[in-house]
Amino acid sequence: MVDNFKQGKTLPDIIPIFPLKGVVMFPDTFLPLNIFEPRYLKMIDQAISNENRLIGMIQPKNLNDPDDNIPFHKVGCAGKIVKFEETDDNRYLITLKGLSRFNLISEKTNNRNFREAKINWETFSRDLNINIKPFDFSTLKTTLKNYFKSQNIRANISAIDAFNDYNFVDQITMICPLTDDEKQLLLETFSITKRKKLLQTILDCYITEDNISDISKH
């Protein structure tokens, strides 16, 4: 067990996990989810009955394998259910607030047909006590606008300019259509400072590729 200094509680060593390709979550970010599969409805039922209300988000590596044999990446992020709504058609609309990343030790399908994982929090223990520092996002914002333009993605430029949250990098990583591997690499990068540099490099590569493609057409 690991003490959660944010909430004064103890973090569990075993949590339910929700494998979702192309989706990552970071500490102190919010992730809305639409839950409709029966086994994951059971997972949410169990989670909300638990004091911690934790769900581990993790990316599968290969969806071509049989369901029980899907390998997972070794790093995911746990989030606490902070919003819950049941719809008339028996779905759950929930929102997770990212708590901390974790290392996956082992996992198995339980008797309710959803996955539970044994995890370790220690590698990312700093996620529980993030030291918030001011960042200059001006260069990244300019690059992001150029990236959206190169990919023909419509974006609210005014909202980007006004965005000053310290975890701007993480929120952009979550919503941008990056590859699964790129998102996973960013997730596994320890500090926000290093993730900022890595995201800048990734976006620059997309812009450069687009520029080269434009030149080759002429």
For 25-51, the pLDDT digits (tens) are: 999 999 999 999 999 999 999 999 999
Label residue 62 by pLDDT band (50, 70, 90): confident
**Tokens linked to 46:** 């169990």
Q: What is the pLDDT of residue 10?
A: 85
Mean pLDDT score across all residues of the chain: 90
Q: What is the pLDDT of residue 199?
A: 97
Superfamily of domain 2-129: LON domain-like (2.30.130.40)
Q: What is the pLDDT of residue 64?
A: 60
Q: What is the pLDDT of residue 122?
A: 96
Phi, psi for 36 (deg, rounded to 5): -135, -20
What is the mean predicted confidence (pLDDT) over 112-125? 96
Angle made by CA atoms 49, 50, 52, in degrees to the nearest 5:
135
- What is the spatial distance between Cα 118 and Cα 16, in angstroms, rounded to a whole number? 9
Q: What is the pLDDT of residue 11?
A: 93
- What is the spatial distance between Cα 217 and Cα 210, in angstroms, rounded to a whole number? 11
| Residues whose CB falls within 8 Å of the CB of residue 151, separated by 6 or more in sequence, listed in order | 177, 206, 210
Say what the pTM is: 0.89
**Tokens linked to 38:** 């029966």
- What is the spatial distance between Cα 6 and Cα 1, in angstroms, rounded to a whole number? 15
**Tokens linked to 140:** 């990244």
